[in-house]
Amino acid sequence: MKIIELGKITSSHIIRIEPGDDAMKSLEGFSSRPENKGKFISFRAIGGGFTDVKGYFSQSKKKHGISSETKILPKDDMYELASFLAWTTWIDGKPFVHGHSVFGDKNFNAFAFHSVEASLTKNLGLTMEVEATVYEAEVNREHDEDTGLPLVLSLSKTSDSNKTELDKLREENERLKKRNEELEKENTELKNQSSTALQEQIKRLNKALIDANEITQKANATNQQLIAQIQVNP
């Protein structure tokens, strides 16, 4: 058993494959984008409205005596994609999308194989929805001597040499994140302190206004009494 460390997820996406597009070519195009180049990418998807579906049952002619002949599902039918799992690895710097599909027809027959092509018909407007997860590791694929198939997976030297640098960047990112949290906490405390001081000042002003009103009312009452006395005893 061989275990390869893929590292952390760098990004995740939902990809909508439009009517008229070929699924495998679209995923190769996504893999070749500058920000994804060299990265291990996993895909899973569902969809409907497929025609021109091609695939093969992979056996090594060298080892099993069975060739990997491409089969085409009947074009006069339409197919539902029940399950699709794939990932992108790299051969000589080019993306290699290795996908397994299960398609179903209108009679509920299922067809499972390695995906080669699968085009969406333009007539129905149905789509293929893909969840893509991009990892920081670069995984290369090499041919196996026994089968002649590209089965050997290995972590690239570039990926391995960058691991220490990536760890440093992650540590620095965590440090900056913690510092940002501390600054946000200090800012909140300052706001609360300012708010508390302002509220106390408002309370003091309100009390002063109440006291002033009471004094004014008492003065008015005294004035009224004096006026009444003057009128009685002119």
The full set of domain ranges for the chain reads: 9-156
Q: What is the 3-state secondary structure (H, E, C) of 72-123?
A: ECCCCCCEEEEEEEEEEEEECCEEEEEEEEEEECCCCCEEEEEEEEEEECCC
Lowest pLDDT segment from 39-43, 102-106, 162-166, 227-231: 162-166
Are 39 and 134 in contact by the 8 Å Cβ rule? The answer is: yes
Mean pLDDT highest for which of 47-61, 123-137, 184-198?
123-137
- pTM equals 0.59
- Of 53 and 153, the structure prediction assigns the larger pLDDT to 53
| Matching residue, tokens 């003091």 | 204
User: Is 9-156 CATH 3.40.50.300?
Assistant: no
Res. 132 pLDDT band, cuts 50 70 90: very high
